[in-house]
Chains A and B, each alone.
Chain A
Amino acid sequence: MDYKPIKKVISGNYAAAYAAKHARVEVVAAYPITPQTSIIEKISEFIANGEVENLQYVPVESEHSAMAACIGASATGARAFTATSAQGLALMHEMLHWASGARLPIVMVDVNRAMAPPWSVWDDQTDSLAQRDTGWMQFYAENNQEVYDGVLMAFKVAETVNLPAMIVESAFILSHTYDVVEMIPQELVDEFLPPRKPLYTLTDFDNPIAVGALGTPADYYEFRYKIEKAMEEAREVIHKVGREFGEKFGRDYSQMIELYRTEDAEFVFMGLGSLMGTVKQAVDVLRSEGYKVGAAKVRWFRPFPKEELYELAKHVEGIAVLDRNFSFGQEGILFNEAKGALYNTDAKPIMKNYIVGLGGRDFTVSDVRKIAENMKKIIESRKLDREIEWYHLKR
């Protein structure tokens, strides 16, 4: 890792745009109106300024079409990228299945914004988590650096296992917040992420392929199984690519769950994305006050890191799962997944679900402390006061 990074103070959105540029994406398709973001604006600026070669920007009439255009481009062998948010992602939903079903390694950044109604432009994870079953990998960034790094790694993982990947960043908290990002010199990115080598392309006329063919009951089932096999393979690839990234650039991503001060922790806070930055800060404060707590940041939600979760769960008495999302009629989505993943194991920590920060409600260090006090009582009494708590609710 002997290199000189290019340090800049940029927003999460610009970090995403620079990463797309450094990944030498060849096609970007987007619908340039709300809820589109400054990611696409910055990319069009790169094109207008002549800062990128061989990048085709396709303005389309909807997010559905944006993904359709990415699918077409990716099927010809191009490296395709787009970005969206909230209702835009929801409108893409049908096409997300087409991308994974056709095994196309498209990378997309989603800016986590709350679903309307009522209208909101603030942070909430329900938009991306609602795409859980589309066959896309999902990486949640804690900060702008992870947005940048995530996009570069996502292309490498996606192109290895032939599945699309979504990099998720928080609205405003990352998307509009400026902080220090260390970018990697282009030639080193090129070494890490060489040009895509597709197995099949629509434009290889000597080896014609069919895309979007009929899958009868005799074949469809195996196609699904192969997607799942690719997801399983992705876990290994993520470890490998994350390690390589660490060796080359000094930031290790080999773990799908990043553990922070969990070694001797009585209980841990678990969650996705930017809120875990605040949680880590709170863990330091709580540790200084005598709490034995740690943080477990789930980086990759799909494929789900169930083995790493098991290893953690074996050694703690409790897990406070912080969900900035909700599945109506049940519980927080990460809580649901984590609880389910442990059911058939011998790890049985007490688990409680805290619903926090929906629609951008600020989640602070003092909120983490209140949750710690509650968890401590639960663990001491071995009694769960309630399984799901709507933490901020005005009463």
Chain B
Amino acid sequence: MIEIRFHGRGGQGAVTAANILASAAFLEGKYVQAFPFFGVERRGAPVTAFTRIDEKPIRIKTQIYEPDVVVVLDPSLLDTVDVTAGLKDGGTVIINTEKSKEEVLEKLKKKPAKLALVDATTIALEVLGLPITNTAILGAVAKATGVVTLEHVQKAIQDVFSGALGEKNAKAAAEAFEKTETYEL
């Protein structure tokens, strides 16, 4: 089972990202589960969401405490939230940031085995005209983890957002896929 934790801020679509990733994995024939941190959400406040992906039905109903993958949608969270809390040894961290690998690593409490960086905010502003990074970051997830293909991410995005909006969001994911830099540490 692969367990993925998303960190975002209320309104950025972290919960939707967790759901779309689950749908993308479902399209590959996997069993999936996606859920928000069971909290009270407010716009701008730190938000956590989770996705589980497995080859067999998922029975466990608890929150994720030891993720394999952490996805950070908002770079400012690195200053306030311990995003690597509980990260498994050998785990992957994917961050939306314009900063360098060195600058980011300074802010992480635990060094991941793999780090993936992408400036998803710039991509979202260029493609969507809005700083909503949840679809772009999924392109980075596909690139860095290989748990889903970009095609399935795009299909899952277009199942949620129809028409031109869906096309734009799928394009944001593709651009992020291209521009994601990954580092084995």
Contact = CB atoms under 8 A, between A and B. Distances in A.
Interface of A: 7, 9, 121-123, 142-143, 170-174, 176-180, 274-275, 277-278, 280-281, 360, 362-365
B62 A179 contact: no
Contacts of A365: 60, 62
B32 A180 contact: yes
Interface string B19-49: 1001100100001111110101000000000
A172 B39 CA distance: 9
Contact of B63 (A170, A171, A281, A362): A362
B38 A281 contact: no
B149 to A, nearest CB: 17
A360 to B, nearest CB: 6
A179 B38 contact: no
A178 B57 CA distance: 13
A121 B39 CA distance: 8
Given A178-B19, A178-B22, A180-B26, A9 B61 contact: no
A340 B164 CA distance: 62
Contacts of B31: 179-180
Contacts of B40: 121
Contact of B60 (A122, A172, A180, A278): A278
Contacts, number: 66
Given A176-B36, A178-B23, A277-B61, 10 more contacts: A143-B61, A170-B61, A174-B61, A179-B22, A180-B31, A180-B32, A274-B61, A281-B59, A360-B38, A365-B62
Contacts of B26: 7, 9, 180
A180 B34 CA distance: 10
A122 B40 CA distance: 10
6 contacts: A170-B61, A174-B61, A178-B34, A179-B32, A278-B61, A364-B65
A260 to B, nearest CB: 10
B125 interface: no
B58 interface: yes
A333 B19 CA distance: 35
B35 A177 contact: yes
A177 B59 contact: no
Contacts of A278: 59-62
Nearest to B156: A9
Contacts of B57: 180
Given A176-B36, A179-B33, A9 B19 contact: yes
A123 B33 CA distance: 18
B67 to A, nearest CB: 14
A167 B59 CA distance: 19
B62 A362 contact: yes
B35 A172 contact: yes
Most buried by A among B23, B33, B61: B61
Contacts of B33: 177-179
Contact of A178 (B35, B60, B62, B63): B35
Given A9-B23, A121-B40, A177 B34 contact: yes
Contacts of B63: 362
Q: B22, B31, B34, B62: which has the most chain A beta carbons within 10 Å?
A: B62
Contacts of B59: 142-143, 277-278, 280-281
B60 A9 contact: no
Nearest to B65: A364
Nearest to B23: A9
Closest CB pairs A-B (n = 4): A177-B35, A172-B38, A277-B59, A178-B34
A173 B34 contact: no
B62 A9 contact: no
B32 A173 contact: no
B44 to A, nearest CB: 20
A240 B131 CA distance: 55
Contacts of A281: 59-60
Contacts of A277: 59-61
B32 A178 contact: yes
B34 to A, nearest CB: 4
